[in-house]
Amino acid sequence: MSNRLRIGIDVGGTNTDAVVVDDAGQVLASTKTATTPDPSDGIRAALDDVIATIDRKHITQAMLGTTHPANAIIRRRDLDKVGVLRLAAPSSLAISPGMAWPADLHETVIGASAILRGGFEYDGTEISKLDEDGIREFALLCLGKVNAIAVSSAFAPASTDHELRAIEIIREVTNGAMAVSLSHQVGSLGLLERENATILNASLFGLARKVVDGFQLALQSHGLDVESYLTQNDGTLMTSEEAVQLPILSVGSGPTNSMRGACALAGLTDALVIDVGGTSADVGILVSGFPRESSAAVEVGGVRTNFRMPDLISIGLGGGTIVSDRNGQVTVGPDSVGYRVVTEAIVMGGSTLTLSDVAVRGGRLNGFGDPTLVDSVSAETIGFALEWVDEQIGILCDRMKLSRTAMPLIAVGGGSHLVPNTVSGIADVIRPEHFAVANAFGAAIAEASGAVDRVYRYDSMGREASLEEAKQMAVDSAVRAGADPDSVRITSVTEVPMSYLPGQGCRVQVKAAGPLKG
């Protein structure tokens, strides 16, 4: 046994999973417990169980992936009040902060807002001189009214000066009593979306502090003196300090951990992953071990944001999906009995024909209920339903792929028995061991990362030199985040040419990642 072990914990909507993994990526212990109303209870229970047979002095790191923040936003609970400060005037006055927010979330979160002079042009010059007095006034106005201030300035991803000056002023005026979130740390280009993400981020400060403290307390109470991390949307790690500053970056970590975990369990770095549950199937793709990110704006709790989220396509296809046969007219879904499939499926003695029954009769699922109970269903119905499943899965995979090249498909989740062994355009269908704890495994193997998102002018600097600079900045940033300098690698490079912009303007996004330094 290797002497450096990691614990991965994933708090999902239904289950809290934990694994202990060694350096070689072997699962030494795993457990699945129910998620509790106070998620810390579930975390403690999972820890109890998973380290029972492990020599805890070999454990050096613990990684947590959690749905706390996502749930808080969706349920509008445990959110802090935020003062919204935009530095862009006179630009952007036509659209107020929080304009497109759902009314209930707006009321819960946004306590005050102002658009002040400041921000930058695309070429790095100031839109206007920063309104420092205005910032002082706003900070004082916010005292006692809100818990945190979200600051967003125009072109902050390229020019951070005004945001950095704003935080200085706010700290000075409030004697450090006001928490502040800066947009350039949260999101990329797109002022309104980045501002939204920054507001949500600031509203999660209090909750994030509780989650991080709870996690560390749970580790300590189990005698684990280890480094602790939280996983973020892109499958990489945040330290506890970063996690309390940037909690919004963890809202999409569940599906990412699931996909990365499944892929690593299958021993692959490039593959499609399909997660079939009771009600729906999600397909994503991993390239060099990381999920491809969505290019479309991502909505969180009804708010449009632009931060990094895995690109997933979902359809209503799961083990509980209802199959109906009206006089030979067979339809599949979109209704589902969901998790109640264990009692409502015909093979379980229930009365609803589901895709699980179809899978049993079609020979794809064994050891689930009594197969003789579905004998009466016509072979045509079964054939039609399976054909539908195969077609839908084929279409999903095709939409996710990058090219015609055949790729492996990893099937996980309680309904993954529905995935046929051959899918067109798919090289292999792989069903990894331990897939039930893929999420926690994904958390345990997460790496440190760094990212760069800037606009270059290829005519002045040249494409090669621009890309080289961006890559070096990403690598440096990953190393600062704790990655081992010897094994950091570039995981993605995206160039988006900017139409109508002079000087061959090009937006360059680069990411680098590497395993944590030991």
Partner 1 sequence: MRELTLEDLDDMVLGATLLGTGGGGDPYIARLMVRQAMEKYGAVKIVDPSELDPDGLVLTTAVIGAPTVIIEKVPAGTEFTGCVNALAAYLGKEPVALMPIEVGGMNTLIPLATAAEMGLPVIDADSMRRAFPQIEMTVFTLAGIPAAPMSVADEKGNVVVFETINNSVAEKLARASVMQLGMANGISCYPMTVKQVADYGIQGSMSYCVDLGRKLNAVKRGEECAFEEFLEFSGGQKYFSGKIIDIDRRTTEGFARGTVVLEDLVDPDRVMRVEIQNELLMAFEDGKPVITTPDLICFLDYETSDPITTETLSYGQRINVLGLPCAPEWHQPGMLELVGPRAFGYDVDYVSMKGIAT
**For partner 1, which is the closer residue by CB, 326 or 404?**
404
User: What 8-state DSSP symbol labels residue 515?
Assistant: P
Task: Tell me the per-residue interface mask from 300 to 339 with partner 1, x by CB under 8 A, - otherwise.
Answer: ----x-----------------------------------
Cβ-based neighbour number of residue 183 at 10 Å: 28
Task: Tell me the per-residue interface mask from 79 to 108 with partner 1, x by CB under 8 A, - otherwise.
Answer: ---------xxxxxxxxx--xx--------
Give min distance, CB of 486 to partner 1, in A.
Answer: 35
Give min distance, CB of 460 to partner 1, in A.
Answer: 14
Q: Contacts with partner 1 in 198-237 (CB under 8 A)?
A: none
**CA-to-CA separations, 19 to 16, 34, 261, 436, in angstroms, rounded:** 11, 15, 11, 11
Contacts of 366 (CB under 8 A, 6+ apart): 360
DSSP string, 37-106: SSHHHHHHHHHHHHTTTS-GGGEEEEEEEESHHHHHHHHT-SPPPEEEEEEEETTTTTS-TTTTS-HHHH
507 binds partner 1 (CB under 8 A): yes
Rg of the chain over all Cα atoms, to the nearest angstrom = 25
Would you put residue 302 in left (φ > 0), alpha (ψ -120 to 50) or beta?
Answer: left
Q: Contacts with partner 1 in 357-396 (CB under 8 A)?
A: 395
Among residues 25, 190, 371, 420, the one that binds partner 1 under rule CB under 8 A: 190
Among residues 402, 406, 427, 465, the one that binds partner 1 under rule CB under 8 A: 402
# residues contacting partner 1 (CB under 8 A)? 46
**For partner 1, which is the closer residue by CB, 96 or 221?**
96
Give per-residue burial for 302-334: e unless 16+ CB within 10 Å, then b: ebbbbbbbbbbbebebbbbbbbeeeeeebebbe
**CA-to-CA separations, 265 to 27, 41, 96, 279, 442, in angstroms, rounded:** 9, 28, 47, 24, 9
129 binds partner 1 (CB under 8 A): no
Among residues 9, 186, 191, 219, the one that binds partner 1 under rule CB under 8 A: 191
Cβ-based neighbour number of residue 451 at 10 Å: 21
**For partner 1, which is the closer residue by CB, 249 or 506?**
506
**For partner 1, which is the closer residue by CB, 151 or 189?**
189
Given the structure tokens 């940037």, which residue do they identify?
Answer: 246
Give min distance, CB of 106 to partner 1, in A.
Answer: 14
Task: Tell me the per-residue interface mask from 131 to 160 with partner 1, x by CB under 8 A, - otherwise.
Answer: -----------------------xx-----
User: What 8-state DSSP symbol labels residue 297?
Assistant: P
427 binds partner 1 (CB under 8 A): no
Positions touching partner 1 (CB under 8 A) are: 88-96, 99-100, 119, 121-122, 127-128, 154-155, 189-193, 295-296, 304, 395, 398-404, 455, 496-502, 504-507
